[in-house]
């Protein structure tokens, strides 16, 4: 039990520190690297509570795809970060207000949890998990029974977003050359091969 508590505090401290460094780092590449570190420590916290499937999904999806994509985008785009930071003070009051509201909401939730005398909250938090059901099966049973409509709605939203991105990418614009696979496949020998008779000693 002491080892689990030490592991929890270690993962939590590193995750919070990495999250702070994501925002505080001046170099965007360093921010993405700290984000990857925060993902790894969050997956460690999921392993401690017995959610191995979610921990692996966090590493495979977010670290293996999203964070690497962020890193490549940041490294490939020529962004003037000095120009982006020029209006920081203009948006500081609005950002401080939103941060204060989020902090107040978190304090309200934690305070309600501590002060509440409802036994159902403690019972729900300490409900044992059946040993014969794996973590993946338990998650699937919740998603496809209680939250099946929300799960399908999220899938439809992601599908619409993917179709919209493809349509915006494939739109025809003037002055932009695009590859037409159908025209390439439909080409015949007469249109592709040109036979040139070169005289001896003249070269091509």
Two structure tokens written together for 82 = 């000095």
User: In Å, how far from its chain's centre is CA 158?
Assistant: 13
Residues 148-182 as b/e (b if ≥16 CB within 10 A, e otherwise) read: eeeeeeeeeeeeeeeeeeeeeeeeeeeeeeeeeee
- Over the chain, what is the mean pLDDT? 80
Domain assignments of the chain as residue spans, ordered by start: 1-81, 90-127, 135-172
- CA torsion sign for 167, 172, 175, 176 is positive
H or E segment to which residue 18 belongs: helix 2-24
Three-state secondary structure call for residue 193:
coil
pLDDT band at 153 (very low <50, low <70, confident <90, very high): very high
The model carries a pTM of 0.57
Q: Are 79 and 63 in contact (CB under 8 A)?
A: no
pLDDT digits over 165-178, tens only? 888 877 777 777 77
Four-point Cα dihedral 93, 24, 34, 41, nearest 10:
-60
Task: Say if residue 129's pLDDT is above 80.
Answer: no
CATH 3.10.129.10 fits 1-81, yes or no: no
* Res 13: pLDDT: 92
Six-digit token pair at 109? 């939730």
List, for residues 37-87, the tens digit of each pLDDT value: 998 999 989 888 888 888 888 888 888 887 777 777 777 766 666 666 676
Tell me the per-residue pLDDT of 184-200, one tens digit each, with 9 for 90 and over. Answer: 888 887 777 888 788 77
């Amino acid at each position: 039990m002491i080892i689990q508590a030490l592991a929890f505090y270690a993962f939590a401290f590193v995750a919070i520190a990495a999250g702070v460094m994501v925002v505080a780092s001046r170099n965007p590449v360093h921010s993405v690297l700290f984000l990857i570190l925060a993902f790894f420590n969050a997956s460690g916290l999921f392993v401690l509570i017995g959610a191995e499937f979610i921990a692996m999904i966090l590493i495979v999806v977010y670290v293996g795809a999203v964070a690497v994509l962020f890193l490549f985008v940041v490294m490939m785009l020529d962004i003037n970060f000095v120009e982006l930071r020029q209006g920081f003070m203009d948006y500081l009051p609005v950002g401080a207000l939103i941060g204060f509201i989020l902090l107040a909401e978190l304090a309200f939730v934690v305070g309600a949890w501590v002060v509440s005398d409802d036994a159902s909250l403690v019972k729900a938090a300490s409900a044992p998990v059946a040993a014969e059901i794996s973590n993946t099966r338990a998650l699937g049973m919740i998603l496809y029974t209680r939250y099946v409509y929300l799960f399908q709605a999220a899938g439809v939203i992601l599908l619409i977003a993917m179709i919209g991105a493809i349509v915006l990418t494939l739109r025809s614009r003037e002055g932009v050359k695009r590859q037409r696979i159908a025209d390439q496949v439909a080409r015949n020998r007469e249109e592709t091969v040109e036979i040139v008779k070169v005289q001896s000693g003249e070269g091509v």
